[in-house]
Amino acid sequence: MLGAIAARRGHLSQAEGFFAKVKALPKVPAPAQRGLHRLEVFRKALDRDFAAWRAQMPTPQPLATCYYDLGLALLTANDRGGAKEAFRSAAAADPKWPQPLIWFGFFAALDGDAMGARKQWEAAAKLQPQDAMLREMLGYLAVAMGLQKEGETHFADAMKLGCAIPQEDIYPDQHVKAAPSAPHAAAKKSAEAEGGEEEAASAEDEDVDELEEVDEGAATMIEPAAE
């Protein structure tokens, strides 16, 4: 009876357990026989249809691709945190796949973490050396960090791969028309009014020396970026 009650309540595994105990008796009660037979019919049909249903399914994508697609879907839903976790799972499932690393680089760059972006994009570039976009972004990143020579190298690699980069982006310092600071402009104007170009040049040199001192002091206040 316990087996029949369990089956009626939907607990089929528990019902099978009860019926199994009854099967050991010298004479199995008729209700138990009927219950066992119903479960056997069900199990055979379940195994058969499960196998048939599974055979109809398309070949599944690799696990890394599934996590990656989930990350893209979460990005579409404006869930950047969830997307990051999905991309991490994709990278763990396939460490040699550069796409998740490229996303990590973009996330770091968007957060202002240049060192983090550089690390991820360089790792991706090693796995995908013919990717012009990666070389281009490494170039822009290097220039932003003040590493002009490194930036030029990356830009040259990107252009070899077919990327078009404006000259003013490659050499941004050559296209800056910086206005002199107010103290410097006043000193220079005063010196020029007195007719002394040497005095004007001296005022400019003093301004540069003062800026260098400020830069040296500010450098001690900047913590290195955490990787």
CA distance 35 to 51: 25
Phi, psi of 5, deg, nearest 5: -65, -45
Whole-structure pTM value: 0.63
Angle at 81 between CA 76 and CA 145, to 5 degrees: 95
Residues 6+ apart with CB under 8 A from 88: 100
Mean pLDDT across 202-214:
47
Q: Among 19-23, 106-110, 130-134, where is mean pLDDT lowest?
A: 19-23
Residue spans per domain, the chain: 2-56, 63-175, 182-219
Identify the pLDDT of residue 125.
Answer: 96
Fold of 63-175: 1.25.40
Q: What whole-number distance in Å separates Cα of residue 83 and Cα of residue 97?
A: 16
* CA 23 centroid distance within chain: 58
